[in-house]
Amino acid sequence: MKRLRISGSVAWNLFLLFLVFALVGTVFVGSVGAGYFASLVKNEPLRSKAELRNQIFSYEETSEIYFANDIYIGKLRTDLDRRETSLSNVAPDVINAVLATEDEYFREHTGIVPKAVIRGLLQDVTNSATQTGGSTLTQQLIKNQVLTNEVSYERKAKEILLAMRLEHFMTKEEILEAYLNIIPYGRNSSGRNIAGIETAAEGIFGIKAKELALPQAAYIAGIPQAPFAYTPFTNTGELKSEEALQPGIDRMKTVLYRMKEAGYINDAQYQEALDYDITADFRGPEMRAEDRYPWLTYELESRAKDIIAEKLAQEDGIDAERLKSEKKLRDKYTILADRDVRSKGYRIYSTINKDMYDAMQKAAQDFQYYGHTYTGKGKDPVTGEETDIEMPVQVGSILIENTTGRILSFVGGRDFKTTQVNHATQAYRSNGSTMKPLLVYAPAIEYGVIGAGSPLVDVKFSIGSWSPSNYITSDERGIIPAREALADSQNISALRLYNDILNKRPADLLVKMGFSKLHPDDFTNLATGIGALHEGATVEENTNAFATFANGGQFIDAYMIDRIEDQDGNIIYQHEIVPTEVFSPETSYIITDMLRDVLTKGTGTLARNSLKFSSDFAAKTGTSQEYKDVWLVGYNPNVSLGVWMGYDQPRTLYAFNNTYSQPSVRINKLWATLMNSVYDVDPQFIDPQTSFKRPPNVVSASFCGISGLAPSAACSSAGLVRSDLFNAKVFVPSKPDDSFGSGSGSVVTIKGKTYNALSSTPAEFTRSGGVGINQAFITRMLGRLGGNPANLLPKNSSLSNSSVSALDFPADSSPPATVSATVNGSTLSWSGSSNDVVGYRIYNVTNGGRSLVTSVLESTQSMTVASGQAYVVVAVDITGLTSAQSNVVSTGGSENIPEPEENEEEQEPDQETPTTPPAEGNGNSSEGNGNGAANGNGSHSNGNGGTANPSDGSNGGNTGTPPPTDTPPQ
């Protein structure tokens, strides 16, 4: 017993000793561990409740875009798709699957599970092949939202500390909901990275998270352990092979087993879920929004960034004008806005009508008359490497609702893969003659300079080396009505009118109508009147400006984003319509009435004739230099449609022997095709029954057609009184016409032009009833630009009158040159003489005598004569002087035909004898004049272009160098 007591005492003492050592060791190790833990987290700031909660709930969410009427388009481009949901909208099986798999003690622990932490630490220290992990849902939430994925003890220590702290600040339901919204789930059926249970359910199975069945819930719950191994889709959105899908299916079975072990499902449910074919539920490949609607997606993204950038700047007290003018400031807020748009989960609601947009895309795609596609060197839009690329004719078009400014539809281009430039909203090009009503005619009416039919001068002029011309370079119509000049798109008359109002800075009106890239020279350059802008305008800007006329002179800025909502449905942006007065209602109606003529008898007739319906339309065509751009912009009371065609690298649209017909014909056809496509979608809206209403102050008044002043007796006698529309508020003709002089009333024709006859002009070559034009009037009409007075009243002018002479002919005192006569059978012909010749006398000189056969006007240089006779011809000028007689010619026979004496002078006809030529001579003269007039009218018809072959007039005028810049007009 003594030995036993001694042995027991020794053992007890040893036990106590070992116990002391163990306690000391434990305290030491614990102290070391605590000290090490403290050293790991010493730099971790003490986060407040609000700060920690904000970080947890600040997960990125993908923004979505919508058509009008809240029709879903898709998600904006982002590296990660995510859509937030609440716990109440998640199927219970999903929650059970997540807890059984990821955190079985979630309801009991306070942020961490100690034994799991120790187990994980030992596995890491021993480098165990089995790594079970030890993170709770709270820890995973901290790792993803507050810390990083860095693999280190420091990060793990901070994770543990913050997880325990978070449990004091958030409920279990809040932690679970946040976890389900942030955890990654691999890829969806479009190949995009996804996060969040709602996005996973839609992206993998095409259903909502609350609709997930047990097998589907188990499959999704298993993905986060190895997202890209278990996800069923590749990075291109294709379903993986059967072999590659198996790991994800095996993981689903593991999740189901754990759910059964945890008591969430019974054996029957477990077996049924195991037998379920989950692969049948995977959704098919889904095109991304930017793939289905690339032009629209990129445009809405860009506009949303602009809106958010301005909103962020305003919140920082930055004025919107500073944001536009200061590049660095704009770049800063654009970057901030880009982050917000991609990550804040905005819902962006557009004005685009889905059916109209789809219809216009198809119509543009099916159109067969764009023109030739070139091949050249360029950069591949994807790789950036130089390669052979196609260079097709591009198109830009936009449809705007007039009264609201809503952009209903647009066409951005031919193929987004070829070029990503949106040709409707981003491409700045010369707008050619579509500029004329905006910058020339409407302002001139507004200023009270002209009415709809006021006379304009279509006579060529030169400024330095710049000599503009009309579409047909030889076309000079003289004095023509403004209505005709605009309908036929005459360049010269538009430039002269613009010169008259240039000092009023009408380009300021372009600024009011949204032209965004005007240079200082654009306000003073004469050629701007026919579209010679430094940078041009977009289709949106040009069309939006024309809608001003449809709105009675009120400019309403076009817009594509109606509103933007945040994740909670709060409206953070709502578009507001702010009209800007540019023109009076009277001016708008008058210019609209003039532009109606473009479609009925001008350069847009083919477009009008190609429409399926008949609205009250007004329109204007346009071309730039060398047909590098062609336009047509038209509007009715409801909508405005603008269309442009051209190459990205400007080059002429004429090519290959006109294989695709004239560019002007193509643009007419395309405009009608696109308008018809939206008409098919909504006939009642696109074809309104209403017409443009004439304001009370738009009156019809009479005026003298060549002066624009109140009709005089002389003007009335000449048959030149016209009537057209005026704005009674600013201008109605009241001053008496002063264009006619008090001449003899006799006129002559020289080279197709009419001049006042002189008192010495032989009466046989004059026409009675004529009236002369005042020299002061001629000087006033030609103005500082000058020009040839003889061209004021050419034959192809609709105001031409055979009894009106433009001016006195500058005659000299020299007799006309001798003509040379020839004969062919019974036809006598002769050469022309001097420029002042008014006619010719034909004499019979058979048997040595000389008798007058007939007198003909200068336009006639041949006639039929009797056979067996000899003839000579004498030229007579406007002063009455005659040339020496021509050589003698004979038509054959036995008569004796003596040669006249070499210096024999022409004798005047016996004044006692009537000077009127015989009937045959009058017939020849009349025929000559008739032919001349017919030819003139023919030229006029060709100049108009005709209904089958319309062509705009701006091309011819865009040659040379316009003042005051050295840049050729575009």
Cβ within 8 Å of residue 96, ≥6 positions away: 217, 259, 262, 264, 265
Tally DSSP H helices, then E strands, for the chain: 31, 33
Whole-number Å distance between alpha carbons of 590 and 135: 77
Among candidate residues 943, 605, 925, the one with its CA nearest the CA of residue 794: 943
C-alpha distances in angstroms, 225 versus 90, 205, 210, 282, 372? 20, 19, 22, 20, 56
Q: In sequence order, what are the beta bridge partners of 856?
A: 840
What integer pLDDT is reported at residue 910 of this predicted model? 35
Among candidate residues 181, 172, 174, the one with its CA nearest the CA of residue 94: 181
Sheet with 571-574, strands from edge to edge, namely 72-75, 64-66, 347-350, 561-565, 571-574
Residue 895: φ, ψ to 5°? -65, 150
Q: What are the tens digits of pLDDT across the range 135-145?
A: 888 888 888 77
- Angle, CA 670 vertex, CA 664 and CA 676 arms, to 5°: 140
Please compute the mean of the pLDDT values over residues 791-805 and round it to a whole number. 70
Return the structure tokens found at 183. Answer: 């955890």
Please compute the mean of the pLDDT values over residues 737-743 and round it to a whole number. 76
Please compute the mean of the pLDDT values over residues 42-49 and round it to a whole number. 64
Q: What are the tens digits of pLDDT across the range 15-44?
A: 777 877 777 766 665 565 555 555 545 556
Residue 845: φ, ψ to 5°? -115, 25
Whole-number Å distance between alpha carbons of 806 and 82: 79
Tell me the three state secondary structure of residue 586. helix
Residue 186: left if φ>0, alpha if ψ -120 to 50, beta else—which one? left
Return the structure tokens found at 80. Answer: 């990660």
Bond preceding residue 917 cis, omega within 30 of 0:
no
922 sits in which H/E element: helix 919-944
Whole-number Å distance between alpha carbons of 447 and 584: 10
Return the structure tokens found at 565. Answer: 């909502």
Is 80 exceeded by the pLDDT of residue 643? yes
Residue 745: left if φ>0, alpha if ψ -120 to 50, beta else—which one? left
Average pLDDT score over the chain: 84
Residue 518: φ, ψ to 5°? -85, 135
Per the CB < 8 A criterion, the answer to whether 231 and 117 are in contact is no
Is 80 exceeded by the pLDDT of residue 940? no
Query: Is the C-alpha dihedral spanning 327, 329, 330, 331 positive or negative?
Result: positive
Per the CB < 8 A criterion, the answer to whether 639 and 399 are in contact is yes
Is 60 exceeded by the pLDDT of residue 676? yes
- Give the number of other Cβ atoms within 10 Å of residue 22's Cβ: 10
pLDDT range class, residue 907, cuts 50, 70, 90? very low
Is 60 exceeded by the pLDDT of residue 154? yes
Is 80 exceeded by the pLDDT of residue 858? yes
Rg (CA), the chain: 44
- Give the number of other Cβ atoms within 10 Å of residue 939's Cβ: 17
Q: Torsion angle, CA of 433/437/441/443, rounded to 10 degrees?
A: -130
Q: What are the tens digits of pLDDT across the range 420-472?
A: 899 999 999 999 999 999 999 999 999 999 999 999 999 999 999 999 999 88
Is 80 exceeded by the pLDDT of residue 902? no
Is 80 exceeded by the pLDDT of residue 365? yes
Specify the pTM: 0.76
Is 90 exceeded by the pLDDT of residue 419? no
Largest CA distance in the chain: 190
Whole-number Å distance between alpha carbons of 596 and 601: 9
Among candidate residues 499, 465, 493, the one with its CA nearest the CA of residue 792: 493
Q: Do β-strands 618-623 and 394-401 pair in parallel, antiparallel, or remain unpaired?
A: unpaired
Is 80 exceeded by the pLDDT of residue 332? yes
Cα end-to-end distance, the chain, whole Å: 124
Is 90 exceeded by the pLDDT of residue 538? yes
Is 50 exceeded by the pLDDT of residue 936? no
Cβ within 8 Å of residue 181, ≥6 positions away: 59, 82, 84, 85, 195, 196, 197, 198
Whole-number Å distance between alpha carbons of 727 and 448: 8
Per the CB < 8 A criterion, the answer to whether 943 and 506 are in contact is no
Is 90 exceeded by the pLDDT of residue 408? yes
Whole-number Å distance between alpha carbons of 844 and 888: 9
Whole-number Å distance between alpha carbons of 945 and 575: 44
Per the CB < 8 A criterion, the answer to whether 458 and 485 are in contact is yes
Q: In sequence order, what are the beta bridge partners of 726?
A: 699
Is 90 exceeded by the pLDDT of residue 272? yes
Helices (H), 65-113: 92-102
Give the DSSP letter of residue 906.
Answer: P
What integer pLDDT is reported at residue 493 of this predicted model? 97
C-alpha distances in angstroms, 841 versus 420, 860, 870, 915? 73, 11, 14, 11
Return the structure tokens found at 205. Answer: 């199975």
Return the structure tokens found at 634. Answer: 């038209």
Tell me the three state secondary structure of residue 59. coil
Higher pLDDT: 251 or 102? It is 251
Residue with tokens 């479609």: 599
Higher pLDDT: 784 or 932? It is 784
Q: Hey, which bits of 426-503 come out as E strands?
A: 455-458, 478-481
* Range with the poorest average pLDDT among 96-105, 123-132, 702-711: 123-132
Is 70 exceeded by the pLDDT of residue 803? no
Whole-number Å distance between alpha carbons of 264 and 269: 10
What integer pLDDT is reported at residue 398 of this predicted model? 98
Q: In sequence order, what are the beta bridge partners of 390?
A: 375
C-alpha distances in angstroms, 39 versus 33, 47, 108, 755? 10, 18, 29, 109
Give the DSSP letter of residue 440.
Answer: I
* Range with the poorest average pLDDT among 50-59, 233-242, 591-600, 617-626: 50-59
Q: Residue 447: how many CA atoms within 13 Å on its side-chain side?
A: 18
Please compute the mean of the pLDDT values over residues 79-98 and round it to a whole number. 88
Whole-number Å distance between alpha carbons of 856 and 828: 13
Q: Do β-strands 804-805 and 771-772 pair in parallel, antiparallel, or remain unpaired?
A: parallel
Please compute the mean of the pLDDT values over residues 155-169 and round it to a whole number. 78
What integer pLDDT is reported at residue 925 of this predicted model? 31
Q: Please, is 525 exposed, middle or buried when counting C-beta atoms within 10 Å of its C-beta (0-12, 13-18, 19+)?
A: buried
Give the DSSP letter of residue 797.
Answer: S
User: Quick one: how far is CA 375 from the chain centroid?
Assistant: 24
Cβ within 8 Å of residue 414, ≥6 positions away: 364, 365, 370, 392, 393, 394, 395
* Range with the poorest average pLDDT among 565-569, 604-608, 814-818, 937-941: 937-941
Per the CB < 8 A criterion, the answer to whether 525 and 495 are in contact is no
Among candidate residues 165, 567, 591, the one with its CA nearest the CA of residue 343: 567
Higher pLDDT: 835 or 325? It is 835
What integer pLDDT is reported at residue 918 of this predicted model? 32
Return the structure tokens found at 555. Answer: 């400019």
